[in-house]
A = this chain, B = another copy of it.
Amino acid sequence: MTVPARRRSTRDRPAKAPLSEQAVVDAALAILKSEGLEAVTMRRVATALDTGPGSLYVYVSGRDELLQAMQERVTATIELEKPNPKRWRAQLHALLGRMLDALIAHPGLASVSMADPPTSAATSAALENLLGLLFAGGVAPQDAAWAADIFAALVTFNAIEADTRRVDITEHAEEIARYFAALPPERYPLITANVGALVAGDPRRRFRFAVDVVLDGILARSKDGRPD
């Protein structure tokens, strides 16, 4: 005598209360923070919400849109500050630092933000603030527009770098130092002679340096009154 076959209906239990895009994005962000980007699968998110993968498609057109929505939500949490011409440079450093922090706190999101178009409310708000700070510093519009692009590159690149060396920051630097030091000096004289400089500086320091270099370059340009 066998147990009567189940599987006759498409459901085993009554339907739950409707979900929402909010709930889906929240669940996905929680998984991202605790387990990383790879763990953010439709099935995993659905399980976290105690439902089937198909249910998510009511709120999100697919995985890519979900990732974009996550990025938008994280970008929206970045604090913006009214530009003050007296301390615009410090404000700019602080803003870019917060952008970097937000991405680092959500490992993997930087790679997403790199692929997405910059057309969203939160991204626009950050861009508006960035332009405001550069204008407060007397940077010409065209220079400011292109500088914003460079800063985006620096933030994203540094966030992705942080994602990779997640495990152990100093161990990672030492590994690279060992690799460089072991290269044949005849073929790589400059690398082997400058291992110290190549791995010097913690990520924060290097990021600040990069931002300063770009700002100095932009300001020099404006001062000269160069034709673009």
Q: Contact between A119 and B190 (Cβ–Cβ < 8 Å)? A: no
Query: Does A132 make an interface contact (CB < 8 A)?
Result: yes
> How far is B147's CA from A160's CA once the two chains are assembled, in angstroms?
18
Which of B115, B119, B209 contacts A160, CB < 8 Å? B115
Closest to A134 in B: B190
The 5 closest A-B pairs by CB, nearest first: A217-B217, A153-B157, A213-B217, A216-B217, A145-B197
Query: Does A41 make an interface contact (CB < 8 A)?
Result: no
Query: 8 Å CB contacts to B: which residues of A97-127?
Result: 111, 114-115, 117-119, 124-125, 127
Which residues of chain B come closer than 8 Å to A118, judged between CB atoms?
A: 176
Q: Contact between B154 and A124 (Cβ–Cβ < 8 Å)? A: no
A203 to chain B, nearest CB (A): 10
* Residues on A facing B (Cβ under 8 Å): 111, 114-115, 117-119, 124-125, 127-128, 131-132, 135, 141-142, 144-150, 152-154, 156-158, 160, 163-164, 175-176, 179-180, 183, 187-191, 194, 197-198, 200-201, 206, 209-210, 212-218, 220-221, 228
Closest to A228 in B: B209
Closest to A194 in B: B141
Q: Contact between B188 and A128 (Cβ–Cβ < 8 Å)? A: yes
> How far is B200's CA from A142's CA once the two chains are assembled, in angstroms?
8
Q: Contact between B127 and A191 (Cβ–Cβ < 8 Å)? A: yes
> How far is B45's CA from A16's CA once the two chains are assembled, in angstroms?
44
Which residues of chain B come closer than 8 Å to A194, judged between CB atoms?
A: 131, 141, 144-145
Q: Contact between A179 and B210 (Cβ–Cβ < 8 Å)? A: no
